[in-house]
Structure 1
Amino acid sequence: MDAPADSPWSGTGLDARTGRVLEHLVAVPSADAAEVASAAGVSAADAERALRHLADASLALRIDGTTPRWAAGPPRSSLGALLARRRAELAHAEVLVERLQEMYETVSGPRAAHLVELLEREQQVSARYGQLLKGCASEVLHLAKPPYVTGSEASAGELGVADGVRMRSVYETEGFTDAVSLTTALRGTGQGGELRLASGLPVKLVVFDRVAALLPVHGDRPAAGSLVVHSPALVEALVALFESVWERAEPVSLSGRTDAPPPTPEGPLPADTPATQEPDPRTREILHLMATGLKDDTIARLLKVSRRTVQKHVSEAGTRLGARTRFQIALLAAERGWLEDH
């Protein structure tokens, strides 16, 4: 019986009882079984078994006489030989473990491929993304953050997502540097898609119908390859991650909605307001961002201007349009075509 893992004899293959017997033998010239049992605190039968085991391992020598006595062999040479045998056994065991591991990987490899796919080239990622998106029947969940890979991040409309598929996207706020970036994000949500903005997104991610997920192998190098995850447990965890990000993200309303109620004026609008006068590019850009639901602080950060500058442009646009609220400004600007790309 092997020694417990915390026994000093565990590395030799001797159990603790036999080790105590050997410790007594090396401390005396010789001893009979009764003396060994008393000194080691074991029964006479256990002492006999331990002594025979030591003799078989060449660690003890039986001295015949009227009452047989036992003497220990030189510990360094006798235990050294035992440890050498143990090392050889461990080496053989390691070879066996490696062979078993190779067999396991050979059998498990095809199974693992059904749980996770590795896409090593950008073209593979783009093609697989389009295939998964077109196969969606109910829902697409999307976390988008820079750096972007153009080939694999085409908009849903361009890839022909099926009608009725609900699309929810959260874009990295810091990823927008101008109105063009925001327009791309709005287009990428597809017809009727929902868009939100959040800072510090944890990962780039797309989840398809909650049965498959696509994410990069290296978050900072999306072109270095991606993983397609099919494992139900992993997909469920990624969906939970998306939902937590979605809850804290800031909603962005689409400026082209037709179901919004008409504005309710707080009073008569000036009749001589130069509403037909075209705004300058900066005002048009600020109105475009404001119409999506962004706050003044966010717009100022995106355009690298002061909050006061944003408010000044919005106020001047309101005067031109004869609008008294931000909602009126956004609606009337959309009607005048001020929010369209030029």
Structure 2
Amino acid sequence: MDGMPDSPWPGTGLEPLAGRVLEYLVSVPSADAVQVAAAVGVPGPAAEEALRQLARASLALRADGVTPRWAAGPPRASLGALLARRRAELARAEALVERLHQTYEEVSAPRAAHLVEVLEREEEVSARYGQLLKGTSAEVLHLAKPPYVTGQHTSARDVGVADGVRMRSVYETDGFTDAVSLETALRGTAEGGQLRLASRLPVKLVVFDRAAALLPVRGDRPAAGSLVVHSPALVEALVALFESVWERAEPVSLATRREGPLPPVPAPRPEDPAPGSDAQAVRPDRRTREILHLMATGMKDDTIARVLKVSRRTVQKHVSEAGALLGARTRFQIALLAAERGWLAEEP
């Protein structure tokens, strides 16, 4: 229990066990080591070591006798002194970070002077991408089109991006067909990202915190290397380009995509299930729901088949059965009616 992540005691400089012992001591007039050990549920030697730590910090006072007893000292003054020391240590650590960063910038002067890094190898591009992504604190802007660099499919979760980072991605529609891109987009939206599709993108681009941008030297050849742009003016121009593309791109929800008003529900056919019938209440199996989920984003049968590793015939069979169950005649109606039934929602 000493290593509990929610314990506030490490922030004071005290071991968690010593903090628990102090919490006990302030609640009683005094106690011997045996009573302390029993109260906090640890062996006697561990309790005695915690008491000695508190005594060194003037947080516990020992009264000698046949059986030594311990009482808490005034915690506000003693803990205040400990916290003051911790603040001083943090200030020194922050100063060290600043010195290290200054040295880094001095050593990287040629790069800073030109405001552009040139990355020549694919593995160098992937490593730098991960580094920039991990250092992001506010926002990532992403224009994605093939051919892809493998490392640029790294997700925020994979590299430990800070919570609260806003991620917006626009994928070129024709390139949004391979399993890696789809998996990356699905994971990104699951982590709170926003996704849009555009028929054509002018360039592949990633912008980190509006402070640095990564783009290829040649869009058709990832192996030709990439550029990391630090120039504020250039980054600002690239952000404006992204926003222009974003404004024109089509929003896509990977739960369901609605393109305009709902179509009218088709008139029932003799073979259609009647409203309120058992067939209407049936929830399709997991495979059918997965296919409908991807179909609702606008994916074609061949793409869905590749993503789910099934045949095109299997995809069409599940879509046809769902259409019959819903009384829908088109794929668009199937997707919308499936969404209204809750078939595209995650399992509870």
Interval of TM-score (by shorter of Structure 1 and Structure 2): 0.5 to 0.7
Contact 1:186 1:195 in 2 (8 A): no
Query: Secondary structure of the equivalent of 1:124?
Result: helix
Q: What amino acid is the match of 2:149?
A: V
- Alpha-carbon shift at residue 287 of structure 1 (Å): 1.1
Shift of 1:319: 4.3
Measured against aligned partners, the alpha-carbon deviations of 1:54-77 in whole angstroms (never above 9, x if no partner) come to xxxxxxxxxxxxxxxxxxxxxxxx
SS of alignment partner, residue 127 of structure 1? helix
Map of 2:342 onto structure 1:
332
Distance 1:277 1:130, change over 3 A: closer
Decide whether aligned partners of structure 1 residues 278 and 153 sit closer, same or farther in structure 2, where only a CA change above 3 A counts.
closer
SS of aligned partner of 1:334: coil
1:269 lines up with 2:279 in the alignment = no
> What is the distance in 2 between the residues matched to 1:112 and 1:169?
28
Shift in CA distance, 209/300, structure 1 to aligned 2, threshold 3 Å: same
CA contact (8 A) 1:321 1:332 kept: no
| Equivalence for 2:176 | 176
Partner of residue 217, structure 1: 217
Residue ranges of structure 2 left out of the alignment (5+ in a row)? 1-108, 257-264, 267-273, 306-314
What's the CA shift for 1:291?
Answer: 3.3
Contact 2:143 2:242 in 1 (8 A): yes
Residue 248 of structure 1 aligns with an amino acid whose one-letter code is: R
- What is residue 252 of structure 1 aligned with on the other side? 252
Q: Which residue number corresponds to residue 226 of structure 1?
A: 226
Residue matched to 1:299: 300
The question of whether the paired residues in 2 share the 8 Å contact of 1:197 and 1:251 is answered with: yes
Contact residue 153 and residue 181 of structure 2 kept, 8 A:
no
Which one-letter code corresponds to 1:144 in the other structure? A
Aligned to 1:22: none
- Off by >2 Å, runs of 4+ in structure 1: 109-114, 176-184, 265-279, 283-286, 288-292, 298-304, 310-316, 318-328, 330-337
Counterpart of 2:243 in structure 1: which amino acid? E
Structure 2 counterpart of 1:85: none
Quote how far apart the aligned CAs of 1:312 are: 9.1
Report how far residue 269 of structure 1 moved.
3.5
Closer, same or farther: CA 244–311 of 1 in aligned 2, 3 Å: farther
Change (3 A) 1:318 1:335: farther
Aligned to 1:198: 198
Determine what percentage of the aligned residue pairs are the same residue: 71
Alignment of 1:10-21 (within 5 A): none
Give the whole-Å Cα distance in 2 for the aligned partners of 1:269 and 1:336.
23
CA distance in 2, matches of 1:277, 1:285: 10
Matched letter for residue 184 of structure 2: T
**Residues of 2 paired with 1:255 and 1:171: CA distance?**
17
Shift in Å, 1:313: 6.1
> Could you say if the C-alpha distance between residues 228 and 179 of structure 1 is closer, same or farther in structure 2, counting changes exceeding 3 Å?
closer
| Letter of the 2:294 counterpart | L
How many residue pairs get aligned? The number is: 212
Distance 1:314 1:190, change over 3 A: closer
In the alignment, residue 187 of structure 2 is paired with which amino acid? R
| 8 Å contact kept, 2:125–2:225 | yes
Alignment-mate amino acid for residue 206 of structure 2: V
Partner of residue 13, structure 1: none
Cα distance, 1:149 vs structure 2: 1.3
Q: Flag structure 1 segments of 5+ consecutive residues without an equivalent.
A: 1-108, 257-264, 305-309, 338-342
Is the CA contact (8 Å cut-off) linking 2:138 and 2:209 kept in structure 1? yes
For 1:165 and 1:248, how far apart are their aligned partners in 2?
A: 23
Contact 1:179 1:289 in 2 (8 A): no
Q: Secondary structure at the match of 2:164?
A: coil
AA in 2 matched with 1:240? A
In structure 2, C-alpha distance between the alignment counterparts of 1:275 and 1:180, rounded to whole Å: 33
- Structure 1 residues 135 and 142, CA, compared in 2 at 3 Å: closer, same or farther? same
Aligned mates of 2:279, 2:128 — CA distance in 1: 57
Q: Which residue of 2 aligns with 1:162?
A: 162
Shift of 1:167: 0.3
1:171 & 1:113 partners in 2: Cα distance?
33
Residue 322 of structure 2, aligned match among 317, 321, 324: 317
Q: Whole-Å Cα distance in 2 between the matches of residues 180 and 119 of structure 1?
A: 23
The alpha carbon displacement at 1:278 in A equals 3.2
Q: Given that residues 326 and 334 in structure 2 are in contact (C-alpha distance below 8 angstroms), is that contact kept between their aligned partners in structure 1?
A: no
Please give the secondary structure, in 2, of the residue aligned with 1:157.
Answer: helix
Instruction: Name the CA distance, whole Å, in 1 between partners of 2:231 and 2:346.
Output: 50
Q: Which secondary structure does the structure 1 equivalent of 2:218 belong to?
A: coil
Partner of 2:11: none
Structure 2 match to 1:287:
292
* Aligned equivalent of 2:65: none
Distance 1:223-1:193 versus aligned 2 partners, 3 A rule: same
